[in-house]
Amino acid sequence: MRLLLVHPSALMYSEIFLRLEPLGLERVAAAARADGHEVQVVDLQARKHRDLHETLRSFRPEAVGFSLNYLANIPEAIDLARGIKQAVPGCFVFFGGHSVSFVAEEILEQAEGAVDAVVRGEGEPAMAPLLEAVRDGGVDSVPGIVTSAGRGPAPTMLHSIDTPRPARDLMSHRRRYFIGELDPCASIEFTRGCPWDCSFCSAWTFYGRSYRKASPEAAAEELASIREPNVFIVDDVAFIRPEHGDAIAAEVERRRVRKQYYLETRSDVLLRNTEVFERWTRLGLRYMFLGMEAIDAEGLDLYRKRVSPDDNFRALETARKLGINVAINLIVDPAWDAERFRIVREFALSVPEIVHLTVMTPYPGTEIWHTEARRLTTRDYRLFDIQHAVVPTTLPLDEFYRELVRTQAVINRKHLGLRTALGAAQILGRNLLRGQTNFARMLWQFNRVYNPKRQLADHRRPVRYELPLPRRLDVGDRRQLYVHDKPAPRSGTGTPKGAGSEH
């Protein structure tokens, strides 16, 4: 069967700071290809809508799947699905990914026949049975599949994440992927899932608080096969298990793989497993994203981070000693007033680390979705991008955005302005000599992308598709929030095909 897989366009944040390869989509593609299907991929982060239309004309797919890791991409995907149905009559169109797993039925209703099915949960285990059912019938009975007729059996969860290896060869614009100075940059997955239960996050509810590790041999072998000099480790929290991080490091050392790395972790994990991070700095670990979320105990308790402010600041000092460049994330509470923004600006200027701001957003699948969603001021999918306020703000909305952008601009001038460009001249020059312009472009785009008038105007756009309100749920019973319940048991001598949701 001819299968076309599509990643939607970049969101606001991705217009500047990063553009990551669609690792989950590549693994779904590999699972389908291993089952004998002919697969092509169009990543609209790096390509245009006209490229998608040209591929539809030349490839004539029998099935088209959209990877939807972000709610804000849903309207674009539904409209594209309508066009695909007209351009390729009889084509089976399905959605999958993290975000749509929590609102599958509502998406099907809003698409009004343009979407035939939604894949809930990890995508790769569903590919072989879904495409077989598209050809022979019986789609409704495929595990994890939701159609207008209702939900099929529960989604299947992989036991091993070693296979299949991402089909990176299907990505025709790999030089477009970057994160900050790491340009170009590939992505890799060492673990999947998160054992913590932060109230603003849906990683733990999607995976049912499971946590799976790639074998050190498979992880290092995949890493050695990556052609890019830079790699983003996409794990929700890197090196939770120090023995696993050490084992991968040993395999990387044995293969003499040399890359530069960027990863995400928690302060308590860095403090507890410092030796592992130190070992990885010798292998090329240069950048770290640290989800502090708040600078005081009250904020940390609100988001159930289970870490103290002292731990956060000790972690920053530890990273500095290791020579790791750190980007801090802080969650902007819509309840902040002008004074709170001022305090955050002072904090951002007082530390050498880069500070990123994301607006508190109740997403389907998170605990705060069930406690905060009744307060929503908008249900426009496009505004659920952690850069817009979707619940009431203490400040008038226009003033809130002015303070938000003012704070972001102060941080931008500190880290991404002319002085930084001059300081990074060697990196810029090296990238430009290789034809890599992503990092150079990001230094000058802030004012075009982050603009309070633009953000306020986004609220005034006509809304065609609205996020549904959550059904009433007792969040005291955490299992009711889960998409997956537990990993599938091992069967026979082989490993199930597939490897998981998109990052």
Give me the mean pLDDT over the 484-501 stretch: 40
Which single residue is written with the structure tokens 């499971």?
210
Nearest to 458 by CA among 58, 122, 12, 115: 12
Both structure tokens of 191 = 């673990």
Give me the mean pLDDT over the 68-73 stretch: 95
Q: What is the mean pLDDT of the chain?
A: 88
pLDDT of residue 177: 94
Name the pLDDT band for 335 (thresholds 50, 70, 90): very high
pLDDT exceeds cutoff 90 at 105: yes
DSSP string, 50-113: HHHHHHHHHH--SEEEEE---GGGHHHHHHHHHHHHHHSTT-EEEEESTGGGGSHHHHHHHHTT
Cα dihedral angle (211, 214, 215, 221), rounded to 10 degrees?
-170
Residues facing residue 117 across a β-bridge: 94
Cα dihedral angle (5, 3, 124, 109), rounded to 10 degrees?
70
Name the pLDDT band for 495 (thresholds 50, 70, 90): very low
CA–CA separation, 136 and 297 (whole Å): 57
> Among residues of the chain, what percentage have pLDDT more than 90?
69
Give the total residue count for the chain: 503
Name the pLDDT band for 241 (thresholds 50, 70, 90): very high
Give me the mean pLDDT over the 352-373 stretch: 87
Nearest to 371 by CA among 433, 273, 289, 302: 302
Cα dihedral angle (270, 271, 275, 278), rounded to 10 degrees?
50
CA dist 421 to 119, 270, 328, 413, Å? 44, 30, 20, 11
Both structure tokens of 439 = 């990092």
| Contact call for residues 346 and 454 (beta carbons, < 8 A) | no
CA–CA separation, 55 and 66 (whole Å): 14
Name the pLDDT band for 497 (thresholds 50, 70, 90): very low
CA–CA separation, 21 and 227 (whole Å): 13
Burial letters for 297-328: b for 16+ Cβ neighbours within 10 Å, e otherwise?
eebbebbbbebebebbeebbebbeebebbbbb
CA–CA separation, 294 and 305 (whole Å): 9
| Contact call for residues 438 and 446 (beta carbons, < 8 A) | no
Question: 63-67, 167-171, 193-197: which has the minimum mean pLDDT?
Answer: 193-197
CA dist 364 to 96, 459, 483, Å? 15, 20, 11
Give me the mean pLDDT over the 183-195 stretch: 94
Name the pLDDT band for 488 (thresholds 50, 70, 90): very low
pLDDT exceeds cutoff 90 at 472: no
Q: Does 53 or 498 have the greater pLDDT score?
A: 53
pLDDT exceeds cutoff 60 at 371: yes
| Contact call for residues 81 and 111 (beta carbons, < 8 A) | yes
Q: Does 304 or 292 have the greater pLDDT score?
A: 292
Angle subtended at Cα 89 by Cα 86 and Cα 91, rounded to the nearest 5 degrees: 110
CA–CA separation, 450 and 438 (whole Å): 18
Name the pLDDT band for 208 (thresholds 50, 70, 90): confident
| Contact call for residues 61 and 88 (beta carbons, < 8 A) | yes
Name the pLDDT band for 489 (thresholds 50, 70, 90): very low
Residues facing residue 356 across a β-bridge: 329
Separation of first and last alpha carbons in the chain? 26
Count of C-beta atoms within a 10 Å radius of residue 287: 21
The strand order across the sheet containing 186-188 reads 186-188, 230-233, 260-265, 285-293, 325-332, 354-359
Name the pLDDT band for 492 (thresholds 50, 70, 90): very low
pLDDT exceeds cutoff 90 at 416: no
CA–CA separation, 254 and 413 (whole Å): 42
Q: Is the dihedral of CA 77, 82, 86, 89 positive or negative?
A: positive
Q: Does 494 or 296 have the greater pLDDT score?
A: 296
pLDDT of residue 299: 79
pLDDT exceeds cutoff 50 at 269: yes
With H, G, I as helix, E, B as strand and everything else as coil, classify residue 151. Answer: strand
pLDDT exceeds cutoff 60 at 415: no
> Among residues of the chain, what percentage have pLDDT more than 70?
86
Name the pLDDT band for 308 (thresholds 50, 70, 90): confident
| Contact call for residues 327 and 16 (beta carbons, < 8 A) | no
Nearest to 1 by CA among 95, 64, 54: 64
CA 132 to chain centroid: 29
CA–CA separation, 253 and 80 (whole Å): 45
pTM of the model: 0.90
Give me the mean pLDDT over the 376-384 stretch: 96
121-135 confidence digits (pLDDT tens): 999 999 999 999 999
Count of C-beta atoms within a 10 Å radius of residue 404: 25
